[in-house]
Structure 1
């Protein structure tokens, strides 16, 4: 059975979402953040940079969301939610698997500029980050105007990866980030209507707490 080392209020909730989508058994080991908002010291034993998510599958310990979801889906899920190289939508599938990391980087840079509280706009770095974030969201919105999900009209791992950017990320300090992007807003509703997403968020989402 796979163990998910879940860091509260982190991207590791998407691994719970994956397990619920695939109806696979798993064990959740919960780690709370410290008062400083960082992962606790014991999490460093799992990953030297204390990055979440991390899973264990017997003797294998694996980090990085994109690696984990592909490993689980192919090794334990019979390839469900993946797109094969000879299938339509394969290039989109590859692209949108990576998209979340680009948007997340911009989000954290903008939060850091806001936290500095000195009124500085970040100069060229701030300009590039804001332009890139707006451009990425515009690209996503245009793409979703042509199809229901990111790699076609069926839910795939690409949606599970990039869905975090439109379902959970707005909860972490920028609730209006999707304003003006009607197609993304409709897409986010399709994701949050999924029973597996709802179960996962109740278990390990941003509003969940460590079980007794």
Structure 2
């Protein structure tokens, strides 16, 4: 059976959610962040040198990195669900938005959070540059969702699973007002109504109210 090592309040919620959407059996092992450093606990570091989360264990193998784990699960257990094959008209958008999550969206938020904690003056040009980049990224997502219910098109896919963490739980660490992006907010309401998302959050992070507004 697939074992999912899940760190609370982290991007490993993606993997719990993916398992719930695919309705595959899995064992959930939960960890909590260090209360002072907010980093992984020693138990996770004993499994992976970086204390990585998510981390999955199957057939004696450990695999880290949420994107790699998602692709592994989809390939082994997905049976064609939640992804588009190469002959699908939305194959390229699916690939783009799947990788946009960790290639642009999450880095833009992380840079904004890091710069915001550095004590730079409000008018420092670096703050403006980082904010401009984040605004561009969010505006691009909002424009995409103005014409599509989900990131890869009309169908919910793993591209959405990869992206939602940065738009919701990540804002626990770095508050971002999504009011200027009404299509993102409408999208998050659609996500929040999914039974598999509700199950995943209640199992993985029962203390967390998903930030869907």
Compute the TM-score of the two structures, normalised by the length of structure 1: 0.90
Distance 2:94 2:205 in 1: 25
SS at match of 2:148: coil
- Equivalent positions of 1:49-128 (< 5 A) are 49-101=50-102, 102-119=104-121, 123-124=125-126, 126-128=127-129
State whether residues 108 and 137 of structure 2, in contact with CA within 8 Å, keep that contact through their aligned partners in structure 1.
no
State whether residues 113 and 122 of structure 1, in contact with CA within 8 Å, keep that contact through their aligned partners in structure 2.
no
SS at match of 2:202: helix
Distance 1:97 1:49 in 2: 24
Q: CA deviation at 1:115?
A: 2.2
SS at match of 1:61: strand
SS at match of 2:184: helix
Q: CA deviation at 1:123?
A: 3.6
Distance 2:172 2:89 in 1: 33
State whether residues 53 and 65 of structure 1, in contact with CA within 8 Å, keep that contact through their aligned partners in structure 2.
yes
Q: CA deviation at 1:131?
A: 1.6
Residue 28 of structure 1 corresponds to: 28
Distance 2:168 2:23 in 1: 21
Distance 2:170 2:110 in 1: 10
SS at match of 1:104: helix
State whether residues 6 and 53 of structure 1, in contact with CA within 8 Å, keep that contact through their aligned partners in structure 2.
yes
State whether residues 9 and 206 of structure 1, in contact with CA within 8 Å, keep that contact through their aligned partners in structure 2.
no
Unaligned runs of 5+ in 2: 209-213
SS at match of 2:132: helix
State whether residues 167 and 192 of structure 1, in contact with CA within 8 Å, keep that contact through their aligned partners in structure 2.
no
1:79-137 Cα shifts (integer Å, max 9, x gaps): 2101001101111111111122222222222222222335365544x333212111111
1:162-211 Cα shifts (integer Å, max 9, x gaps): 122223223333152x1111111101110111000001111113735xxx
Work out whether 1:148 is the aligned partner of 2:137: no
Change (3 A) 1:46 1:138: same
Work out whether 1:139 is the aligned partner of 2:168: no
Distance 2:110 2:73 in 1: 28
Unaligned runs of 5+ in 1: none
